[in-house]
Amino acid sequence: MSKIIRVLAAMMIVGAAFVFGSPGEVYAGDDDWNGDYYDNMDLEGKPDEERNDDEIDFNWGKDRPISGIPKDEFSVEWKRTVKFNKEGTYRFKATFDDGMRVYLDDDLIIDEWEDGEKRTVEKDVFIEKGEKIKIRVEYYDYEEKAIAKFDWERESSEDTTGGGASGSPDESAIYPNWKGQYYNNRDLSGTPALQRNDTAVNFSWGYGAPASGINSDNFSVRWTATVNFGEGTYRFTATSDDGMRVWLDNDQLILDQWFDHGTRTISADKFMSGGEHNIRIEYYDNVQGATAKFSWAAVSATAPPPAAPTTTTTTTTAPSPGGTYTVVGGDSLTKIAASNGTTVSALVSLNNSTYPSLTSNPNVIYPGWVLVLPDGQGGGGYTGDTYTVRPGDYLIRIAGITGVPVSTIVNLNSGTYPSLLTNPNIIYTGWVFRLS
């Protein structure tokens, strides 16, 4: 056979097996993966071995993945072009030990490029009918066991193309109840390891994991939902082990117990205007038992707050110059300024020498900071000996303003307001608390 014919024949064979992208990129066709194997962990240089893999479903253990590649400290890059014939939400699932990352048309959807034992990460992506997508999977093994698995399945189909210029469906169609985002850390950081629809936030996981691929300890969850309320007062209740906090309409922190503790229940009454409201719940588990429950119920009639005792002084004279406020969870400078009759700029000016970051970013403050208030301002109904409850107040906030612990406020005032003993999270405007 002549040299030219041999070259043409080789080109025809390669052309039948691969789809070519930009120069230097070779993607396998719909039926297999083009695998490039490297004898380093960084996909550096030219591949030491190349082959087509029918699927990415490997559990090499402590063996080498292929002849010519070491048992440890190697990496692999798989490429494939896939045509998706049905519109819908697809769940891409990666299982690996040590690191893996996945790209769809160069969009990074899974990023776990770090040493670690076997774990599973899932990502939901909406794909339109007939869309051809280049998929790239990168993997490395550091030492000991080596596992690399990747696949996907169609979770749902959608007829609507609303919800954005990309043609993706409204999230309410994918998450009709609660959108649950699960993280393998305690601070809701990074990409969720799992996203799913939860019909209710009503979980008692005990010592088990909340889902496959999620830690049994040291995990966190964020749930979001849009709920239609009739006008009225509702009692919101959270039970958790460990921490949980709840926001209404993005910026109203109504329940806050963001610290390690055993199973504990708190509640708060809130008047809701009629219509849709956004709810956001954040939860984390440290160790041992895990419980996360949230619910609400209409309060049939809200009792008027008890009248203040006649023997209690209710003067609202401002404190002496140099008053302070201790920041608590959920605070912002805007809220603190409004509560204390001052402005954000005045707070920044008075406190930026102690907390220099206020000058560049006044929106970031931390619990425990003690802010100096302008002369003649501080604490609304705070006189030094008493505090008169105002709209929006809660005991943790009052403790931050006055410097008196919540437990002390409860003990000093439970004789006048007995309900503090059973539910210290419900207080009423006009109540006057003794502070000493």
What does the pLDDT look like over 74-127, one tens digit per residue?
Answer: 999 999 999 888 877 788 999 999 899 999 988 898 988 988 888 888 888 878
Is 112 found in the same domain as 143?
yes
**What's the confidence (pLDDT) of residue 1?**
42
Helices assigned H by DSSP within 272-405: 333-339, 344-351, 357-360, 395-402
- Indicate the SS3 state at residue 316: coil
Whether 19 is in a domain gets the answer: yes
> pLDDT averaged over the chain?
78
**What's the confidence (pLDDT) of residue 201?**
93
In this model, does residue 243 exceed pLDDT 70?
A: yes
User: Whole-angstrom Cα distance, residue 33 to residue 275?
Assistant: 51
Whether 311 is in a domain gets the answer: no
E strand or H helix at 174: helix 171-174
In this model, does residue 131 exceed pLDDT 50?
A: yes
Count CB neighbours of 174 within 10 A.
20
- Burial label, 283 (beta-carbon count in 10 A; 0-12, 13-18, 19+): buried
In percent, the amount of the chain with pLDDT more than 70 equals 79
Is 137 found in the same domain as 25?
yes
Over residues 259-304, the pLDDT tens digits come to 888 888 888 888 888 889 999 999 999 988 899 999 998 875 344 3
Residue 404 is encoded by which pair of tokens? 């008196």
Mean of pLDDT values over 315-333: 56
Domain boundary among 260, 281, 298: 298
Is 152 found in the same domain as 28?
yes
Count CB neighbours of 301 within 10 A.
7
Whether 307 is in a domain gets the answer: no
- Burial label, 361 (beta-carbon count in 10 A; 0-12, 13-18, 19+): exposed
Over residues 147-200, the pLDDT tens digits come to 999 999 886 543 332 233 333 445 667 788 899 999 999 988 888 888 888 889
Is 371 found in the same domain as 258?
no
Whether 318 is in a domain gets the answer: no
Task: Provide the CATH number for the domain around residue 376.
Answer: 3.10.350.10
Is 294 found in the same domain as 368?
no
Task: Provide the CATH number for the domain around residue 49.
Answer: 2.60.120.260
Is 31 found in the same domain as 137?
yes
**What's the confidence (pLDDT) of residue 381?**
60
Q: How many domains, the chain?
A: 3
351 or 303, higher pLDDT: 351
Whether 50 is in a domain gets the answer: yes
Domain boundary among 126, 156, 186: 156
Q: Are 179 and 212 in contact (CB under 8 A)?
A: no
- Which pLDDT band holds residue 331 (cuts at 50, 70, 90)? confident
Is 407 found in the same domain as 362?
yes
- Indicate the SS3 state at residue 60: strand
Domain boundary among 156, 185, 201: 156
Is 351 found in the same domain as 228?
no
- Which pLDDT band holds residue 218 (cuts at 50, 70, 90)? very high
Whether 303 is in a domain gets the answer: no
User: Whole-angstrom Cα distance, residue 262 to residue 63?
Assistant: 44
Cα maximum dimension of the chain: 112
Q: Are 180 and 221 in contact (CB under 8 A)?
A: yes
Whether a cis peptide bond, with omega within 30° of 0, leads into 151 is no
**What's the confidence (pLDDT) of residue 166?**
33
In this model, does residue 324 exceed pLDDT 90?
A: no
Mean of pLDDT values over 7-34: 46
Is 26 found in the same domain as 136?
yes
In this model, does residue 367 exceed pLDDT 80?
A: no
Q: If you count them, how many residues does the chain have?
A: 436
Whether 316 is in a domain gets the answer: no
3-state helix, strand, coil in the chain (%, to 5): 15, 40, 45
258 or 380, higher pLDDT: 258
Over residues 376-427, the pLDDT tens digits come to 444 446 666 788 877 666 777 777 777 788 888 888 988 888 888 877 778 8
**What's the confidence (pLDDT) of residue 160?**
30
Is 114 found in the same domain as 197?
no
Q: Which residues constitute the domain of residue 93?
A: 15-156
In this model, does residue 36 exceed pLDDT 90?
A: yes
Is 24 found in the same domain as 152?
yes
Whether 51 is in a domain gets the answer: yes
